[in-house]
Copies of this chain bind each other. A is one copy, B any other.
Amino acid sequence: MKRIFFNTIVGAIMGLALGLGWSSPTLAQGDPLPSWNATATKQAIVEFVGRVTKPGSPDFVAPAERIATFDNDGTLWVEQPMYVQMAFALDRVKAMAPLHPEWAHTEPYQAVLEGDIKALARFDEHDLVQLIMVTHAGMTTGEFSKIVTDWLATARHPRFKRPYTELVYQPMLELLSYLRANGFKTFIVSGGGVEFMRPWTEKVYGVPPEQVIGSSIKTKFQMRDGSPTLFRLPEVNFIDDKAGKPIGINEAIGRRPIAAFGNSDGDLEMLQWTTISAGVRFAAIVHHTDAEREYAYDRQSRIGRLDVALGAAAENGWTVIDMKKDWKVIFPFETR
């Protein structure tokens, strides 16, 4: 918390400095994006930040309007071979199974408990919603937050054998910090569950809970033995994906972002909403091109499909980040 507070001060003072006419968009000391190769991608990012922060420039944007939104799965952290939140749900089914002996012979639970990969791959939306609801509802918001935190402390990615919170993209962490140092307010706008992200986004990304927008289930306010609680109900409240992203941004922020970052067709409408408007705008798509260091997937992928949005990028002048070419390192642990 101390470190984040310090960063806030540094950011504020940087902002003040810029307001007083020091025009460098970068941090005073060294390259603020050291994990990015010196490609056109990096240049496009730095140029955009320079234009909107240069006082007196016709493209200058007041700090309050410097809103940048980031998708999470596949944009800030790994989403293969399955969404982290799905791995969480499957582990929760296993953890909860002793209380539900009937699951041993009831689908979709049986397939999960038996680790039947083929059956899992055939799950339809109804199965997935059922798995999410049974594992994400039926407790208070405080209890759910603790379940998520405890799971993240022990769960490991099947390929990298590391905690999921270490499988975040180092170049994107630098980008988040760089934007904040230049007076931007950074938001996460994810199809994932908002209460699945909030317990850890401040520590991992420097993004506080009030700047995390996501999908949600309904909650019910109850006084329990004199204590107020919010109880999580097995009912969808909001799906923050595709056309839901600009809707969620408008509901939660009430301003239009000037920069947005995504990696799949689920981000198309957020990028349109951000860029097709007056003023200087910036959008980028993380293209997973590195099967060796991470994964390579796009048009045919079941998870994180990037097809229509890739065409839209060409049409709208969005930057396509080529992981293999643009990133020196992928994960923070590679730099240590």
**Bound complex: CA A208 to CA B63 (Å):** 12
Which A239-282 residues have a C-beta within 8 angstroms of B?
A: 243-244, 246-247, 250-255, 269, 272-273, 276-277
Return chain B residues, CB-CB under 8 Å to A237. Answer: 251
Interface positions of A from 187 to 239, Cβ below 8 Å from B: 194-195, 198, 202, 208-212, 216, 219-221, 223, 226-228, 230, 237
Tell me the complex Cα distance, A9–B183, Å: 12
Q: Which of B12, B64, B255 contacts A1 (CB 8 A)?
A: B64
Are A209 and B15 touching (Cβ within 8 A)?
A: no
Q: Is the CB of A228 within 8 A of B273?
A: yes
Given the complex of chains A and B, what is the CA–CA distance between A273 and B63 in angstroms?
33
**A4 to B62 alpha-carbon distance, docked (Å):** 11
The 8 Å CB contact of A195, one of B1, B8, B141, B254, is B254
The interface residues of chain B lying within 8 Å CB-to-CB of A160 are none
Contacts of A250 in B (CB 8 A): 141, 219, 230
Cβ of A27 within 8 Å of any chain B Cβ, yes or no, is: no
Copies in the complex: 2
User: Cβ of B251 and Cβ of A216 under 8 Å apart?
Assistant: yes
Is A82 close to B, CB under 8 A? Answer: no
Q: Are A276 and B64 in contact (CB under 8 A)?
A: no
Which residue of B has the minimal Cβ distance to A254? Answer: B209
Q: Which residues of B contact A32 (CB under 8 A)?
A: none
Residue of B nearest to A274 (CB): B228
Known A-B contacts A221-B246, A273-B228; the reply to A254 vs B9 at CB < 8 A is no
In the complex, which residues of chain B have a beta carbon less than 8 angstroms from the beta carbon of A19? 5
Q: Mask for A11-31, Cβ within 8 A of B = 1, else 0? A: 011011001000000000000
Q: Residue of B at shortest CB range from A271?
A: B228
Q: Nearest CB to that of A223 among chain B residues?
A: B272
Contact of A247 among B209, B219, B243 (CB under 8 A): B219
Q: List CB contacts (< 8 Å) of A63-85 with chain B.
A: 63-64, 67
Q: CA–CA, A67 to B252, complex, Å?
A: 16
**Complex contact A251–B12 (CB within 8 A):** no
Answer whether A252 and B254 are a contact pair too, CB < 8 Å, given A221-B246, A221-B273. no
Chain B residue, CB-CB nearest to A221 = B243
Q: Which 9 A-B pairs have the closest CB atoms?
A: A209-B254, A221-B243, A12-B12, A198-B254, A210-B253, A228-B272, A1-B62, A228-B273, A221-B246
